[in-house]
Amino acid sequence: MVKRSWVVVLALAGCIATSADYLPVALTPDGELVLLSEEDPPAACQELGPVQASHGTQCNAFGRSGTRESAAIALRNTAGAHGATYVRIDREVPPRPEQDNCLFGLRGTAFRCP
């Protein structure tokens, strides 16, 4: 009986790991309107304030490091939900599994441009 329960636990753990393998992030309609750049926005844009997003999971046996591409989608979605159309990326925080950080973070300043 003990052996069977371990098999069930391991099987469930495998399902958890599989669902975290790809960590999908979909671009929302508002996010589609947001342009990301490391450059300052055009002068006519109005600053809305800081915005940040991350992608990944906790660093554990089943953790997955986030990707810049997915963090960028999450940032566009977050900014778009607040009415932004442009985000100047101010900082990237890549995953550092050796420091128990598997998240890829992006921080920036959101703007609404005409």
**How do the domains of the chain map onto residue ranges?**
2-112
Residue 107 DSSP SS3:
strand
pLDDT for 3-22, tens place per residue? Answer: 444 333 333 333 333 333 45
Bridge partners (DSSP) of residue 70 are none
Q: For residue range 67-96, what is the model confidence (pLDDT) as tens digits?
A: 999 999 999 999 999 999 999 999 999 888
- Of all residues in the chain, what percent carry a pLDDT higher than 70? 75
What CATH topology corresponds to 2-112?
Translation Initiation Factor IF3 (3.30.110)
Structure-token pair, residue 20: 């975290």
Cα→Cα distances 101→9, 40, 59, 108, 113, Å: 26, 29, 6, 20, 34
3-state helix, strand, coil in the chain (%, to 5): 35, 30, 35
